[in-house]
Structure 1
């Protein structure tokens, strides 16, 4: 039987922790900045391990602005976006994105990823992860092509812009944009939880069914035998919100790559073979194979996942690059006919995020060449301005830098000067809010989108924890 900590128990524990003085926050006392966190009683989820981690990292962070930002951002997902419940007498976790009250598979998985290292020693976090892994499995079994879901699996979409979409909208689906990375992020979180805890509890028959559905969906979207079951159109003035050719997207030559009709930004692909998403899929399929074998003894699923990973990997090597030899870089999108698009988008998976996500080794030469090109004028969505430089994307327009791109670069880099530049821009562009945003103006940080964007906040906190381990002198 799973023991689910009550909110009263967790709040009592946090109150005792706060009054104990057991972990002094020496550095925080030097700052006059006021916390931006909700009062303890208003926080949606409480983890004593996370509170201890905030105190530990704060002590080692001498920069008062970074220390303040970390204390606000790192727990933001727990403080504001988690809704705990039970289903079939087991934990159920619903994690919204922030200012949009729905669960995105990608965002929810990424929002809690930075707490994985603490899960082994915190039963409350284990309950959260078990509930979210179970919720993800339920969502995938409802519709593996959907990117976002409602809390009530029997309800229609609560999103006004999705109500009239020309696609198969099932109860519980909030938006149905097919994005390969949605399923990859789900696997990454489940694999990370298994590696961090060795807990088999989430990997039940329902999860096994969802895992088989992931592999089957990836195979269907290779589209070897026809256009497949997915199509999508939306009546909109924005070309990036719908698909051409009766909702099936641009034509491709079927080379073994997986079609992703939308990017992780929720913008439509120009060419349906999104290379960072396919690289992510290869890694996710290998992780899924480990999970299938080690948690369920499902050799058939593990073998199937590895076979598909090998096939997609070979297709990437044959069709996913621009240039040859030592000059080659990864393309952003291709169509299999030889047409390629080079750019990068701040959302992950991006070309810049491949090492951070575990898709390639950090010292991989092809990745490093690609990253350099992404952070240059060769990328049409690389912007420079008075506030700094960084990568954006078409989602919110030109001249808008996404903090996420700077966070990803800092987490991917081993160069002190590069990381220091990223930290400087991040701490000087939050417009006094104490949080990260979706994007800010390259010349005017007071012009920003999404004041409550939990993924960016959590990723910032994850970065600071990472730098505490790798580069503590940059925070001192």
Structure 2
């Protein structure tokens, strides 16, 4: 997901166009006709996914919610996947939606909800093999990039990246160093292995990419020097460039990994982005497991596990701050000198998505306090309005709520057994899609017709994942229209 100044301007133009659309109430009155592409125009089709859509939709009593689910859950497959072959191996290029580039984070998250079906679906196995292989090749092009071109020999065609002061290589769309960009491919590979026990994707190329991931994480601990990465962009927005010759703000080297940009692609204030470091620790443990079970490489497994332990120790020592009752909570960013920023951003990894990503136990008291604090006025990017309340971030601007934050709140509530909160989140999501039938990047807290991104596959698929989870764990919540009280 590109977070450039040019992208911001495009989003604002899209929001302005949305204001000219028919009223939300009038749109809701229209029949709930599928917004999916015709079957012949879908980029990828899986009978297993279609059967799941049919089964789950039949459990949803609310017609508008069922319509949203049917539109959103297959959106990644319908619109963003291109299958091919590279050197006789399956290849899959997955765009974010309205940007024709592949983000490691987004592509991993977009296909994640289909994993439970993969063991019994050869077509989905081919897709996952293709995504895992493409991600490995992307990492080998440049582990510091966040977005990659369809053609690995092409120069970037993203307007906002043309003048970046960094080492732009062929095949790279944008080169914003984000720790989570290397965590997500590990999460996907580990999830695929656990679901299928299929060894095919884990070839020499993938193994070389994983070794490069660990080496890059080590470089960005910056224990012996600043490392090779620097980035500057001619821009008026501070979130688009890095200070101090493109290296970012100063830090005390305490063992944490420097992340120059957040999952939103916005620049960090303090370079130790705590959610991403927690994600890195969890990912390294997953990579250690893969090194043992798939790679038969005990030395690499031990190195990954020891690295994860080092991060965990540093996070406990430097990654927390205090709430108003002087209880520990996770900070969002720290610098190792004792300075901490508390906020949350709707993109994952963020503080509210730590349990969802397997970084912390869901019932961990520090996590639970952190989430409640993030969903309060203590978080400068928590917005409450007449249409909704939720978390946004600096990328889309003040008062703009990201539906992803509401989806994550519902997933946390589902784990808590809080039916009332799950239903409240579903009502909000149903009321804020502006009659489009899809989940947007962000909408205004007082007016859902002011939104960004008509086509944002990650948010759509995450919403579908939420509905599938509810259908599996609390089907009674879907068995009544949302207007009814729990």
Same-fold status (TM-score > 0.5): yes
Q: CA offsets, 1:209-246, max 9 Å, x none?
A: 01111111101100001111100000001110000000
Partner of 1:230: 229
Query: Structure 1: how far apart are the matches of 2:365 and 2:344?
Result: 18
Alignment deviations for residues 269-309 of structure 1 (CA, whole Å, 9 cap, x no partner): 00000000000000000001111111110112111111110
Match of 1:6 in 2: none
Residue matched to 2:331? 331
**Residue 448 of structure 1: SS of its match in structure 2?**
strand
CA distance in 2 between partners of 1:84 and 1:188 (Å): 21
Residue equivalent to 2:58? 59
Aligned partner of 1:70 in structure 2 is: 69
C-alpha distance in 1, partners of 2:129/2:118? 11
User: Aligned partners of 2:299, 2:65: CA distance in 1, in Å?
Assistant: 48
Tell me which moved more, 293-302 or 364-373: 293-302
Q: Secondary structure of 1:318's match? A: helix
> After superposition, what is the alpha-carbon deviation per residue over 1:33-81, rounded to whole angstroms, capped at 9, x for unaligned?
1000000000000000000000110111111111110000000000000
1:467 and 2:470 are equivalent in the alignment:
yes
TM-score by length of 2: 0.91
Using CA pairs under 8 Å that are at least 6 residues apart, name the structure with larger relative contact order, 1 or 2: 2
Query: Does residue 425 of structure 2 align to residue 427 of structure 1?
Result: no
What TM-score, normalized by structure 1, do the two folds share?
0.93
**Which residue of the partner structure matches residue 121 of structure 2?**
122
Q: Secondary structure at the match of 1:397?
A: coil
CA-to-aligned-CA distance 1:135-178 (integer Å, 9 cap, x gap): 00000011000000001000100101001100000100000000
Match of 1:209 in 2: 208
For residue 454 of structure 1, what is the aligned residue in structure 2? Answer: 457
Equivalent residue runs for 1:240-319 within 5 Å: 240-319=239-318
Residue 366 of structure 2 is matched in structure 1 by 366
Residue in 2 aligned with 1:445?
Answer: 448
| RMSD across aligned positions (CA) | 1.1
Q: Which moved more, 1:33-42 or 1:57-66?
A: 57-66
Q: What residue is the counterpart of 1:352 in the other structure? A: 352
| Alpha-carbon distance in 2 for matches of 1:276, 1:66 | 31
Can you give the 5+ residue segments of structure 1 that lack an aligned partner in the other structure? 1-30
Cα deviation digits, residues 293-352 of structure 1 (max 9, x gap) = 111101121111111100010000000001399711000000000000000000000000
Once the two structures are superposed, residues 346-398 of structure 1 have per-residue CA deviations (whole angstroms, 9 ceiling, x without a partner) of: 00000000011111111111100000000000000000011110000000100
State the match for 2:394 in structure 1: 394
Q: Count matched residues.
A: 446
CA distance in structure 2 between the aligned counterparts of 1:354 and 1:328, rounded to whole angstroms: 16
Q: Which residue of 2 aligns with 1:191?
A: 190
Q: In structure 2, how many angstroms separate the alpha carbons of the residues matched to 1:371 and 1:242?
A: 29
What residue number does 1:95 align with? 94
Say if 1:360 and 1:69 are closer, same or farther in 2 by CA, change over 3 A. same
Q: What secondary structure, in the 3-state scheme, does the structure 2 residue paired with 1:177 have? A: coil
The CA distance in 2 between the partners of 1:289 and 1:163, in whole Å, is 38
Helix, strand or coil: the match of 2:449? coil
Q: Distance in 2 between matches of 1:417 and 1:135?
A: 41
Q: Secondary structure at the match of 1:293?
A: helix
